[in-house]
Structure 1
Amino acid sequence: MNCRTSLSSWQALTTSSERLKKQHLKTLFDSDSGRFDKFSRHIPGVLFDFSKQLIDDSTFEQLVSLAKESDLAAWRDKMFAGEKINFTEDRAVLHVALRNRANTPILVDGTNVTEQVQSELEKMKGFSERVRSGEWQGYTGKSVKDVVAIGVGGSNLGPQMVTEALSAYADNTLNVHYVSNVDGVQLAQVLKKVEAETTLFVISSKTFTTSETMNNARSSVNWFLESAQDKSAIAKHFVAVSTNLEKTREFGIADENVFTMWDWVGGRFSLWSAIGLPIALYLGYDKFVEVLEGAFEVDEHFKTAEFEQNVPLIMALLSVWNTSFLGHTSQAILPYDQALHMLPAYLQQGEMESNGKHVTFDGQTVPYTTVPIIWGMTGINGQHAFYQCLHQGNVIVPADFIASVEPQVALGKHHDVLLSNFLAQTEAMMAGVNEEQVRNDLQSKGKSEEEINELVAHKIHKGNRPTTSIVLDKVDAKAVGRLIAMYEHKIFCQGIILSVCSFDQWGVELGKGLANNIEAELTEENVAYEHDSSTAGLIAYYKQKRNK
């Protein structure tokens, strides 16, 4: 059985968790002046400080032992070698091949996929340069001004997050707009901003059958044809990222304007592929390559660093420790850079879709929590929204705080104010404020003993809230690539350590299938499926109101 609870390291960690639950982070800092040096790591462009996590020397050693006992190194090597570690779908897991800047051969079923990737990158380069230079022209001979990227899930979140993160580096050659929601409001709002003769649509769907994406794509074509009045013009304004050439041809997209994907790339790990075409169009192909290069640097670190120094692995071990041993069921992602405002949503998909599983590798029920609820927002806004709960709530939420040394935009003392908040919050969450400190503070403000007694309990902060601080040199293209790759490898390590398959998503597929059946009931006559009374009642209510 693959359940990790039988491992000696797991059992040792269970004992350690009971001991450390009685410990306070402030005490750990008071008793060890070298704690920061001991529990922080550097990789190019990144400082990773995990000293404010509730661990000690022996616990860290036990966590590393857990990784070793889980055969993590062997699994890592299998992934990089192209072995089919996504065994429920019999697929390799090779998002790392998409940014393999060394161009070393990686074989899948005897085919060197590195050559395929390089060919597709060259195609992306040529296309993005033609569009950005104005060589690519629409049906009236005008160059492209706006790109509308249509996709959902991994076909949307990754490219949008990166373009938002790096918008300060855009040269205003093109505007990019994203449509992911099948709610017509989003598409309508985008189409109001663009002109048909100067707009390029990028439709991203591996199968070219995804309901939400294809509905948005068809509505976009209808809108476009109101101006163009000629179906042949579709070829000048619509391109696709897909593997289904039959469907893209039916849609009116020329084969040479279809960019391919592979079944060894999961959607949530696909921004490095042609799914990232909107990034190259918006920022320029060179910037897209810099994102790949940053990720490749982390790939090399992850492949070669000793476990004790391996940042993505340490990130995973801390998450397993907090979730499966200390019982903290959520984790906050708190970027103190406005550029990274979409990172929490992106990582929410990455981690929860990957590791939200209930059985081990061999199909046995998992007796521990496999994934925390991932949520968050930019730190400054969060401070005025939910940090009250993080500081004094009766739940403990481990948090990743992310900031940069150099701002994208230098404006007075803004960045110093931003970073002072970043630093203060993690210190406050670690140390808290005890009763004695509260009493002394209130006395210094002239409060009476009676007033102090009324207030003291309300103003105590217990602290002991674990945080990790990730400090980037600057949020540039390489830094974004590094950061995403760190979390990707963290997700992989979590899955291996917890013995769950991180690279399928059968829960997503279940919802899609049911939605297709219900869509037919809502839009066609004499179609009915069996449902529970609630679902049947809701369908009937909707149809009755809609038909009126």
Structure 2
Amino acid sequence: NIIPEVKQTLAKIKNFTNRVVDGQFKGYTGKAFTDVVNIGIGGSDLGPRMVVESLHYYKNHLNTHFISNIDGDHVTEVIKNLNPETTLFIIVSKTFTTQETLTNAETIKKWFLQSASENDIASNFVAVSTNLEKVKSFGIAEDNIFTMWNWVGGRYSLWSAVGLTISLAVGYENFDAFLNGAFSMDQHFKNTSFDKNIPITLALISIWYNNFFDTESEVVIPYTQYLEKLAPFLQQLSMESNGKSVDRNGEKITYQTGNILWGNTGTNVQHAFMQLVHQGTKIIPVDFIGFEESLYGNKDHHQKLMANFYAQAEALYAGKTLEEVHLDMKFKGDANKINQLLPFKVFEGNRPSNAILIKKLTPKNLGVLIAMYEHKTFVQGVIWNIYSFDQFGVELGKELANKFLIK
């Protein structure tokens, strides 16, 4: 029974969050924290970063930063304007051996020790990990270690202690609402019949186009700038889970599996890649995600935003025939010019898209949305008869990088 451990971890996250936000838990000089830096990569970065940016409207006074890439220039850019006295560092690594995360953590530790002592690490550093001994040898106090479990996969981990940065950024009440939203989708997925089950329906639609129309890729387009980081998060969720070429018996697969997933926010995409989606030679299924209400209540902007949301979906399915184009252009030039332009202005239509409409971007509704895509990914893996919870494909590159590092 894992529930008592989960509740214990959540209680610790709640207590720690409240103490940091209220200024009770202080840095090594006794000053309250102003900044939080999340150090992690993959699921230890993409999930928390996506949620924190998506829920920026709900943020408190703490400024949140993320360091993932082993690019030293980026690390320097993040920390150069930070005050070590008022910055809380969260090192997120299940094994506490991840090359990128540990390299970045050691670099930050050296920077920190330019103005602090080894003993001060216990005040300004916390960790999320299963490897307690390595965390303690880094200098982090045992009370500041948030445990996770080996059975929690990185790309599914933002609901665990990996979500500590989320809780600090938006407050524990909002983090709890986010978890409750995911739970409600879990219950929907578990208890709803197949014909009304949203994740199952999405998975079946995706497989239909991938395996029977050879679409290969699909696009996710949220019509809110808050969800700018949704596509990178879903890329890991989908492609790391289902980018497999052998089945559960180790046999070579003879059919298409993982989709290539990409996207960005509307209406920006309409001025970037939607030309390909509307008139390209490839059929590219789209998930449009829209919200009925804006957060700040600017009706003029939101009406125009949502008009484009609906227009893009209609343009994909309805298209524009040669006759319709000709009728539009009938009085806009001579006949020869019109006939030359006609083929370029035709939209074939009958191009697939899902319009996912949500009342408002709240922590709970974001939890619902993310859990929906998680369950969709799982269902695809079951139907394809592949393991969605491993990622052996990332190992060879790591081994070769170490070989080149030694050279």
- Band of TM-score, shorter chain: over 0.9
Helix, strand or coil at the partner of 2:219: strand
User: Of 426, 429, 435, which residue of structure 1 is paired with 2:313?
Assistant: 426
How many angstroms apart in 2 are the aligned matches of 1:353 and 1:264? 16
Corresponding residue number in structure 2 for 1:140: 29
Q: Does 1:239 align with 2:130?
A: no
Q: State the secondary structure of the residue aligned to 1:379.
A: coil
Query: Is the counterpart of residue 206 in structure 1 residue 91 in structure 2?
Result: no
Q: Following TM superposition, by how much is the alpha carbon of 1:463 offset from its aligned partner in structure 2, in angstroms?
A: 1.2
- The normalised TM-score by structure 1 is 0.73
Counterpart in 2 of 1:458? 344
> Which residue of structure 1 aligns with residue 256 of structure 2?
369
Query: Is the deviation greater in 209-218 or in 365-374?
Result: 365-374
Match of 2:70 among 182, 201, 207: 182
Deviation, 1:412, is 4.2
Aligned equivalents of 1:513 and 1:486: distance in 2? Answer: 34
In 1, the alpha carbon distance for the partners of 2:265 and 2:180 equals: 26
Can you list the C-alpha shifts for 1:308-338, whole angstroms capped at 9, x where unaligned?
0000000100110010111101000101011
Q: Describe the SS at the equivalent of 2:238.
A: helix
1:68 paired residue number: none
Q: How does 1:308-319 map to 2 (within 5 A)?
A: 308-319=195-206
Give the aligned partner of residue 510 of structure 1: 396
Distance 2:148 2:84 in 1: 28
C-alpha deviations, 1:94-121, integer Å up to 9, x for none?
xxxxxxxxxxxxxxxxxx1111111111
Displacement after TM superposition at 1:134 (Å)? 0.7
Deviation at 1:372, TM superposition (A): 1.2
Match of 1:358 in 2: 245
2:12 corresponds to 1:123: yes
Larger Rg: 1
Q: Determine the structure 2 residue equivalent to 1:271.
A: 158
Residue 170 of structure 1: aligned partner: 59
Structure 2: how far apart are the matches of 1:412 and 1:494?
38
Residue matched to 1:86: none
Q: Is 1:482–2:368 an aligned residue pair? A: yes
Which residue identity does 1:481 align to in structure 2? G
User: Partners of 1:213 and 1:465 in 2: how far apart?
Assistant: 42
Paired residue secondary structure (1:352): helix
- The letter of the residue matching 1:477 is P
Question: TM-score when scaled to structure 2?
Answer: 0.99
1:308 corresponds to which letter in structure 2? D
Shift of 1:383: 0.4
Q: Which residue of 2 aligns with 1:325?
A: 212
Q: In 2, distance between residues paired with 1:369 and 1:412?
A: 44
User: Per-residue displacement from partner, 1:128-177 (whole Å, max 9, x unpaired)?
Assistant: 111111111111111111000000000001011001011101122x1110
**C-alpha distance in 2 between matches for 1:479 and 1:519:** 45
Q: CA RMSD in A?
A: 0.9
Secondary structure at the counterpart of residue 70 of structure 2: coil
- Write the distance in 2 (CA, Å) between the matches of 1:402 and 1:419: 10
Per-residue CA distance 1:258-288 (angstroms, 9 max, x = gap): 1111111100000000000001111111111
Distance in 2 of aligned mates of 1:215 and 1:276: 22
CA distance in 1, matches of 2:402, 2:162: 25
Measure, in 2, the Cα distance between the counterparts of 1:193 and 1:468: 43
2:279 aligned to which of 392, 415, 421: 392
Separation in structure 2 between the aligned mates of residue 180 and residue 353 of structure 1, nearest angstrom: 17
- What is aligned with 1:100? none
The alignment partner of 1:193 has SS state of coil
Structure 2, unmatched stretches of 5+, are none
The answer as to 2:327 corresponding to 1:411 is no
Q: Residue type matched to 1:421 in 2?
A: N
Equivalent residues in 2 for 1:375-386 (5 A)? 375-386=262-273
Task: Give, in angstroms, the shift of residue 509 of structure 1.
Answer: 2.1
From 209, 225, 245, the counterpart of 2:113: 225
Per the alignment, residue 435 of structure 1 pairs with: 322
Q: Following TM superposition, by how much is the alpha carbon of 1:453 offset from its aligned partner in structure 2, in angstroms?
A: 1.2
Could you tell me how far apart the structure 1 residues matched to 2:161 and 2:107 are?
A: 23
Give the secondary-structure state (helix, strand or coil) at the position aligned to 1:413. Answer: helix
Match of 2:233 among 328, 346, 371: 346
What is the alpha-carbon distance in structure 2 between the residues aligned to residue 519 and residue 330 of structure 1? Answer: 35
